[in-house]
């Protein structure tokens, strides 16, 4: 029986990798990557393409919302704001937060899904104990599904699904490792280098995740922090 299509939002990170594997068990994944003017776009795009090759994804869309770079206000997009050394311990919204970013990403995915006649949109966010992103929690995604129902055609019946939202990063890493997924092809660092910095929030979440999972991270780092 032919599998139904499902749109998967893919950044190129570990979550994207595991999410795709999970979706591929029941659906035919359609890959969506969004450029929002992030400093690390070139490196993320490479990981997106590498994962697309690994999972043999035929239908891909690379969308652009680079106006977020012009808006600024985030260390990920604003050239006037440096990507800081991890401040995960203060439990505040970090400088890497891009205002309303997930809302934009999901909106593009829903638009593509509706035009393609697809009923499922998958997003790989997971809640974190360390950082307070306002657009990365269960309540936010639940409310977004209400918006989708109100803002699309009745017959479209599009559902936003976030199967990783309740998982910790180390659990995601364990599961991805068990499935022998290409974690060496993923990228988490906020800096656009050939080697991950090991100091930004994304690197710290990844390194702490691997440590808690008691597994080896295949990526090389400029700095290996004491964690």
CA 186, CA 102: separation in Å to the nearest integer?
20
pLDDT value of position 227: 79
pTM of the model: 0.96
Q: Are 69 and 77 in contact (CB under 8 A)?
A: yes
What is the DSSP secondary-structure string of 88-151?
Answer: GGG-SPPTTPPTTHHHHHHHHHHHHHHHHT--EEE------SS---TTSSHHHHHHHHHHHHHH
Eight-class DSSP state of 156: T
CA 95, CA 102: separation in Å to the nearest integer?
16
Three-state secondary-structure class, residue 183: helix
Cα-trace Rg, the chain: 17
Q: Is the dihedral of CA 108, 125, 73, 208 positive or negative?
A: negative
Cα distances (Å, whole numbers) of residue 114 to 7, 75, 126, 187: 10, 33, 25, 29
pLDDT value of position 93: 87
Q: Is the dihedral of CA 38, 29, 145, 127 positive or negative?
A: negative
Q: Counting beta carbons within 10 angstroms of the beta carbon of residue 121, is it exposed (0 to 12), middle (13 to 18) or buried (19 or more)?
A: buried
Does the domain at 4-213 match CATH 3.40.50.620? Answer given as yes
Eight-class DSSP state of 192: -
pLDDT value of position 130: 54
Per-residue pLDDT of the chain (227 residues; tens, 9 = 90+): 899 999 999 999 999 999 999 999 999 999 999 999 999 999 999 999 999 999 999 999 999 999 999 999 999 999 999 998 876 656 578 899 999 999 999 999 999 999 999 999 999 999 875 567 899 999 999 999 999 999 999 999 999 999 999 999 999 999 999 999 999 999 999 999 999 999 999 999 999 999 999 999 999 999 998 87
Q: Are 28 and 4 in contact (CB under 8 A)?
A: yes
CA 161, CA 69: separation in Å to the nearest integer?
27
**What is the DSSP pairing of strand 60-64 with strand 120-122?**
unpaired
pLDDT value of position 3: 97
Q: Is the dihedral of CA 133, 227, 213, 173 positive or negative?
A: positive
What is the DSSP secondary-structure string of 36-82?
Answer: -S-TTHHHHHHHHHHHHHHTT---EEEEE-THHHHH--STTT-TTSP
């Amino acid at each position: 029986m032919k599998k139904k299509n499902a749109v998967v939002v893919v950044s190129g990170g570990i979550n994207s990798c595991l999410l795709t594997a999970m979706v591929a068990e029941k659906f035919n994944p359609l890959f969506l990557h969004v450029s929002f003017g992030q400093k690390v776009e070139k490196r993320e795009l490479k990981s997106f393409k590498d994962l697309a090759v690994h999972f043999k994804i035929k239908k891909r869309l690379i969308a652009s919302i680079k106006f977020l770079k012009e808006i600024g206000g985030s260390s990920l997009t604003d050239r006037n704001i440096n990507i800081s050394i991890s401040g995960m311990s203060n439990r505040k919204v970090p400088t890497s937060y891009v205002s309303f970013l997930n809302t934009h990403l999901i909106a593009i995915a829903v638009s593509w899904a509706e035009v393609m006649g697809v009923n499922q949109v998958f997003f790989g966010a997971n809640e974190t104990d360390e950082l307070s992103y306002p657009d990365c929690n269960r309540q936010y995604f639940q409310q977004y599904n209400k918006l989708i129902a109100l803002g699309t055609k009745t017959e479209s019946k599009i559902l936003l699904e976030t199967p990783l939202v309740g998982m910790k990063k180390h659990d995601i890493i364990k599961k991805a490792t068990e499935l022998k997924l290409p974690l060496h092809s993923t990228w988490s660092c906020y800096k656009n280098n050939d080697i991950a910095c090991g100091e930004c929030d994304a690197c710290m979440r990844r390194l702490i995740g691997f440590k808690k999972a008691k597994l080896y991270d295949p990526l090389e780092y400029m700095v290996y922090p004491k964690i």
